[in-house]
Amino acid sequence: MAILLVEQYFDFVRGLAQRIAVMDRGDIALQGPLAELDEAEVRRRISV
């Protein structure tokens, strides 16, 4: 089963997801298993 969750709080997502996609201005900038992505890069792209 898949769920689409749109969320900007990384700590919340980290507790729920195994794979994520990070969008930047409408384009998918990062995607993959959460354990394989650089946390600093994810946080940089989702900061407001």
**Quick check: 48 pLDDT over 80?**
no
45 Cβ neighbours under 8 A, 6+ residues apart: 22, 24, 29, 30
What's the pLDDT score for residue 33? 97
pLDDT at res. 18: 93
What pLDDT sits at residue 1?
A: 80
Q: How does pLDDT run across 1-47, given as a tens digit for each residue?
A: 888 889 889 999 999 999 999 998 899 999 999 999 999 999 999 88
- State the Cα–Cα distance between residues 36 and 1, nearest whole angstrom: 21
Return d(Cα 15, Cα 38) in angstroms, integer: 16
pTM as predicted:
0.77
Per 3-state DSSP, what percentage of the chain is helix, strand, and coil (rounded to 5)?
Answer: 35, 25, 40
* Domain-wise residue ranges, the chain: 10-46
Closest CA relative to residue 28, chosen from 1, 9, 4 = 4
